[in-house]
Amino acid sequence: MTPEFTTGQIHPIECLKESWALIKDEYWLLFAISLVGLLLAGVSMYVLMGPMLCGIFICFFKRIDGGKVVFDDLWLGFRYFGRSLLLTIVMVVPIAVYFVAVFATIYIPLLMQAVGGGRIDERQLLTTFLTAVVVDLVIAVVMVCIHSLLMFAFPLIADRGLSSWEAIRLSARAALKNLSGIGGLIGVNFVLALAGEALCGVGLYLVMPIILATNLIAYRKVFPARGSLAIEPPSPAAYPELT
């Protein structure tokens, strides 16, 4: 049965505060899990992105839901390799398109000009730069939109065991119903990333567990843990025969 989701429950600042309160006691363990998982995903040319993200999320969910985090839980993500494969492709293709577009709009024109022995004047250089900026902006907007719609997809696979297609559809539906909260969440993540970059780039790795935890807290607001949905009991007035 497809799990339902809530709306209007994402409050970005509260998610950030709650995430830090939950992970601070096991911050360094979650930092190590996140770093190793993301490094393995990158080294594998993103072939292992699905299993590694699912493994990372399993560890974070254990902490968020009151369990004990164990580093070896990272490898549980390999159980979801097949289920996450399509989603991995959907996530990686836009990134590949971005790099191809940058190469095609900046480097290829300059290389062709250099190989041909021609002189690159300032007007050509400016045109190439402006074209690259426009292409970058368009692709960046498209990527943000795609990633926003798929923000809950990997967590849904790790948490609910959905297939890639099921997770993509449900994540998109939930995201569209929670656009304002997700927009605020992206803004909070951006500020955290900037703060990390300000520390010579090293801080970006340090804020990474906080960003992941904040996103998963938001996910848990939209997709409560099974059995945790609060059900309002009926009023005694509904049973006059008992009064």
Which contacts of 193-196 are long-range, i.e. CB under 8 A and separated by 24 or more positions? none
Q: Per residue in 134-181, pLDDT tens? A: 777 777 787 778 888 999 999 999 999 999 999 999 999 999 999 999
Share of the chain above pLDDT 90, in %: 57
Helix axes 202-222, 49-64, angle to 10 degrees: 70
Task: Find the range with the poorest average confidence among 90-99, 154-163, 232-241.
Answer: 232-241
Which is nearest to 98 in space by CA: 151, 153, 45, 141? 141
pLDDT at 226: 75
Higher pLDDT, 114 or 48: 48
Nearest-CA neighbor of 185 among 10, 8, 3, 6? 10
Residue 102 buriedness (CB in 10 A; 0-12 / 13-18 / 19+):
middle
Check residue 10 and give its pLDDT.
95
Residue-range domain boundaries for the chain:
12-96+154-224
Tell whether pTM > 0.85. no
